[in-house]
Amino acid sequence: MSGVSAGIATQLVLAAVALVAATLAPARMRSHVAGAACAGLGVAGAVTGLVAMSGGNPGAGLQIPVTLPLGLPLEPLLLAPDRLGGVFLALAGAVAAVTAVYGIGYATGPAASRSGWAAFAVFILGMQLVPAASDVVSFLVAWETMAIGSTVLLLADHGARSEVVRATQWYAVMTHASFLLLLAGFAVLVAETGGTSFATIAAAGVSGTSASVAFVLLLGGFATKAGLVPVHVWLPRAHPEAPSHVSAAMSAAMVKMGVYGVLLAALRLLPQGPAWWAGLLLVLALASALYGILQASVATDLKRLLAYSTTENVGLILVAVAVALLLRGAGDEPVADVALTAALLLTVSHAAFKTVLFLGAGAILHATGERDLDRLGGLAAVMPTTSLTFGVAALGAAALPVTSGFAAEWVLLQSLIHGDGRDDVALAILLPITVAIVALTAGLALLTFVKAYGIAFLARPRSPAAEHGHEGGRSMRAAMLLGAAAVVGLGLAPGPVAAGLAEAVGASGIEVVGVLGVSLPAVDALLDPVALILLAAIVLAPVVVVHLAAARRAPRRDVDLAWGCGGVRVSPRMQYTATSYAEPLVRVFDDALQPSRDVEVSHADESRYLVSQVRFRQRVTDLVADRAYEPIVRATLGIGEGARRIQNGSIHRYLGFSFTALVLVLLAVTW
């Protein structure tokens, strides 16, 4: 029995343990026991993933011989992650472990109930089995497990807040639409190849129309899970309403399963796709990146902002994938490999910083009960650890040195500008547009996260709740620190990470250079963050010397007020809020966002020339959701109404129905 199969068996056992713990443990220590078990499950997954990633012995895994009494050509279920699967298994495991630890301190009320922890365990298990599955049936089973677990978790707070129910409805509908699409797509493949194991399908080398049909169906299904525009609508609804450790797991790991699916379809199952597949993917991905970050930059609900930024990041990841496919089609293998590596780097780094960001948002929610940036502020003083970790993660999300996000985006840009479009019109037009959009996305991401961090943690509290914020429990802080460390670590050591990931997708030409730096001989580019830091330290040294000398001569003096033009009082309401911070942007992209503004001016009683108060309200809604989905929803409700009219509960009418049916049948038979 190989390491991998042992690992997967352990996961199954640990999941069972977690379930038992969740159901049997007494309420006061349930979170500790169940949380610990879930964390263990996560760690097991991570280790298994790493083993599989390093290519322990390929194909090895857990075989579950099943015989379903169906006429289907079912091969035995096989849980044997390949190297790519290993990457995502490790990623899911790591995220699950961190979020579970966080959950120990964070989960309260429904989230800490029996069903809450049980669902969490199921969710994690499903998430870790998806990349491990290497045949259609087990893949779909794992996929559905993941979906059910997450749906139950999402429902946790439905008692407290009514939005939760609506969010869950959206999520359930979208996630099942995704499942159906996948089912259809795989059905096509199975029908074509007559086998259910990925190996069989890949070996058969499906091509032609059926391949295209299958690819489009699969892409639709995976895109829905990955939250691409226009099927992203569940993200900004579900993420804010779920308990924060769950949203973290969903956004950082579950969404990635969509990415894994796309890679699985495009690289393993249908490797020889025509160019327009990549083109389609690229268009979708670019739209998601830009639209996601635009919405994020104007959002004021912190978790909604993070959700949209997830759409953006998934967009970037799939941009990398699509470019890799395009270049491969154009026969530019080396650069394509770089792009592919960039995709995986982006995936890992997003998992790291988005976990921390959502956990940080959870800590804020936990401390202040506020998600609305316009009512936060000054938290750095009262929540130092959260402030530090959230800041680091925000740097990562803004792709600034020396974080994981920076390294990843650097590799992506390198691959983009080195794709040669001189003899390929498609590339010549697509690559510049891609570079431009990616650059704009990066710029807006910068603004978004400066806003998120600056408004929430700096300046002065905008509400009493924010004033009395406090740090969360030990396990919460530990989880966030762990994640932040990962963000910095991945940023400092892009070399080994990139090399490992490149191995996993069989990409060549990624080399470790210097201490931990990464070198891309294919595009002769090189990045060594450690050296960069050293350089910075060297140039900073003399400045610091002068600074200290000056500090000894003229010490700092404290004054009571910030300079407000000699104003006698400074109220926190004078500060810029998240809304006002994004105001210029909203104006610039007025046509794209179409915000609804209304200004109420109420006059004083004495004279209508005196204004007693002005109320300004601005709402930016999700245009895609409004324009594309509302009609569908309305139509569905209409049908529901119709059905109700038919079915009005009168027994006679029902008897009438069955009688008519009977008569009709008889007529049909006698005909």
Partner 1 sequence: MNTLTVPGLLAVQVVGALALTPILIGVMRQTRARLEGRAGGGVTQPWRDVRKLLAKEPLQAAGTGPMLSATPLLLITSSLVVCALVPLVGTASLATVPDDLFVVVSVLLLGTVALALLGLESGTAFGGMGSSRHMTIAALVEPTVLVAVYALSIPVGTSALSAIVAARVQDPASVVSPVGLLAVVALGIAVLAETGRLPVDNPSTHLELTMVHEAMVLESSGRDLAWLEVGSWLRLTALLGLLVNLAIPWGVATTLSLSAVLLGVAAIVVKLLVAGMLVAAGEVFLAKLRLFRVPELLAGSFVLAFLAVTASFLIGGAP
Partner 2 sequence: MRLAKLIRRTGRVAEPAPELSTEPAGAFRPDRALAGSAQVRHVDCGSCNGCEVEVGAVFGPVYDAERYGARLVASPRHADVLLVTGVVTQNMREPLRRTVDATPRPRVVVAVGDCAVDGGVFRDGYGVAGFVDEVVGVDLTVPGCPPEPEAIVEALRRVTGR
Partner 3 sequence: MSDALFSQLLATTTGLLLVTAVVQVWRYSLSASIRVLAVQGAALGALVAVLGIERGDAEVLVVAVLVLAMKAVAIPWALSRTATATGAVREQAPLVNPTAALLAATALTVLAYVAGLPIVAVLEGPAASAVPVGLALVLIGFLVLLTRRSALAQLIGFVVLDNGIATTAFLTSGGVPFVVELGVTLDVLLVVLILRVLTSRLQSAHGGIDLDELTELRD
Would you say the C-alpha torsion 121, 261, 322, 184 has a positive or negative sign? negative
Q: What is the DSSP letter of 197?
A: B
Examine residue 381 and tell whether it contacts partner 3 (CB under 8 A): no
The answer to the question of residue 451 lying near partner 1 (CB under 8 A) is: yes
Cα pseudo-dihedral 343, 346, 352, 358, rounded to 10 = -110
- Which of the listed partners (partner 3, partner 1, partner 2, none) does 568 bind, with a CB threshold of 5 to 8 Å by partner kind? partner 2
Residue 572, contacted partner among partner 3, partner 2, partner 1, none, CB below 5-8 A by kind? partner 1
Is the separation of the CB atoms in 357 and 249 below 8 Å?
no
Closest to 396 measured CA to CA, from 366, 372, 367, 360: 360
- Kind of pairing between the strands at 611-619 and 517-520: unpaired
* Cβ distance to partner 1 smaller for residue 215 or 406: 406
Nearest C-alpha neighbor of 527 from the set 343, 348, 338 = 338
DSSP classification of residue 560: S
CA distance 533 to 491: 12
Total length of the chain: 671
Of 543, 546, 548, 559, the residue at the interface with partner 2 (CB under 8 A) is: 559
| Binding partner of 194, given partner 3, partner 2, partner 1, none, CB within 5-8 angstroms per partner class | none
Q: Which is nearer to partner 1, 562 or 665 (CB)?
A: 562
Q: How far is the CB of 460 from partner 2 (least distance, A)?
A: 17
One-letter amino acid of 665: V
Q: Which is nearer to partner 3, 436 or 574 (CB)?
A: 436
Single out the residue of 135, 312, 332, 528 in contact with partner 1 (rule: CB under 8 A).
528
- Residue 591 binds which entry of partner 2, partner 1, partner 3, none, with Cβ cut-offs from 5 to 8 Å by kind? partner 3
Looking at residues 28 to 57 of the shown chain, list those that interact with partner 1 (rule: CB under 8 A): none
> Between the CA of residue 392 and those of 160, 299, 397, 402, what are the distances in Å?
32, 21, 9, 10
Total binding residues toward partner 2, as defined by CB under 8 A: 8
Binding mask of the shown chain, residues 576 to 595, with x at each position contacting partner 1 by CB under 8 A? x---xxxxxx-xx-------
Stretch that binds partner 2, among 321-329, 533-541, 542-550, 566-574 (CB under 8 A): 566-574
Instruction: Give the DSSP H or E segment for 473.
Output: none
Selected binder of partner 1 within 27, 554, 614, 667 (CB under 8 A): 554
Q: Does 59 bind partner 2 (CB under 8 A)?
A: no
Q: How far apart are CA 45 and CA 56, in angstroms?
A: 15
- Residue number with CB closer to partner 1 (584 or 638): 584
Q: Which two tokens stand for residue 94?
A: 């790591």
Q: Which of 524, 558, 560, 591 binds partner 3 (CB under 8 A)?
A: 591
Asked if omega into 230 is within 30° of 0 (cis), the reply is yes
Near partner 1 by CB under 8 A: residue from 323, 447, 498, 502: 447
- Identify the residue among 428, 536, 561, 666 touching partner 2 (CB under 8 A): 561
CA dihedral sign, ordered 509, 511, 517, 523? negative
Among positions 64, 540, 601, 663, the unique one binding partner 1 when judged by CB under 8 A: 540
| Sole binder of partner 3 in the list 1, 27, 68, 425 (CB under 8 A) | 425
Interface residue with partner 2 among 70, 548, 568, 646 (CB under 8 A) is 568
Distance of CA 523 to the CA centre of its chain: 30
- Indicate which of partner 3, partner 2, partner 1, none lies near residue 325 (CB less than 5 to 8 Å, by partner kind): none
State the Cα angle at 54 between 48 and 57, rounded to 5°.
80
Kind and range of the H or E element at 597? strand 596-603
506: alpha, beta or left? (left if phi > 0; alpha if psi -120 to 50)? left
Taking each helix axis from N to C end, the angle separating 255-263 and 333-368, rounded to the nearest 10 degrees, works out to 170
* Closest residue by Cα to residue 92 from 133, 33, 56, 61: 133
For the chain, the first-to-last Cα distance in angstroms comes to 64
In angstroms, give the least distance from the CB of 444 to partner 1. 5
d(CA 522, CA 96): 36
Q: In this chain, which of 13, 180, 545, 550 binds partner 1, going by CB under 8 A? A: 550
What is the contact mask toward partner 1 in residues 271 to 310, using x (rule: CB under 8 A)? --------------------------x-------------
29 binds, among partner 2, partner 1, partner 3, none (CB under 5 to 8 A by kind): none
Helix (H) or strand (E) holding 296: helix 275-298
Could you say which residues in the range 455-474 bind partner 1, by CB under 8 A?
455, 458-460
Out of 76, 279, 334, 572, name the contact with partner 1 by CB under 8 A.
572
Question: Is position 563 an interface residue for partner 2 (rule: CB under 8 A)?
Answer: yes
Residue from the set 69, 331, 566, 640 that interacts with partner 2 by CB under 8 A: 566
Segment 492-521, which members bind partner 1 (CB under 8 A)?
513-514, 517
In the complex, least distance from residue 590 CB atom to partner 3, rounded to whole angstroms: 9
Question: On the CB side of 394, how many CA atoms lie within 13 Å of its CA?
Answer: 23
Q: Minimal distance in Å, beta carbon 516 to partner 1?
A: 11
Closest among 271, 290, 175, 276 to 222, alpha carbons compared = 175
Residue 487 φ/ψ, nearest 5 degrees: -55, -50
Q: Is 567 in the site for partner 2 (CB under 8 A)?
A: yes
Q: Contacts with partner 3: how many residues (CB under 8 A)?
A: 3
Residue with smaller CB distance to partner 3, 591 or 600: 591
- Establish if 388 lies at the interface with partner 1 (CB under 8 A): no
Write down the least CB distance from residue 46 to partner 1, Å: 30
> Which tokens sit at 454?
């600056």
Question: Mask of contacts with partner 2, 518-557, x by CB under 8 A?
Answer: ------------------------------------x--x
Pick from 160, 180, 429, 604: which binds partner 3 (CB under 8 A)?
Answer: 429
The two structure tokens encoding residue 667 = 């007529």
Please, are residues 346 and 287 in contact by the beta-carbon 8 Å criterion? no
Residue 596, strand partner residues: 619
When binding is defined by CB under 8 A, the residue of 70, 546, 599, 651 that contacts partner 1 is: 546
The residues of the shown chain that bind partner 2, judged by CB under 8 A, are 554, 557, 559, 561, 563, 566-568
The residues of the shown chain that bind partner 3, judged by CB under 8 A, are 425, 429, 591
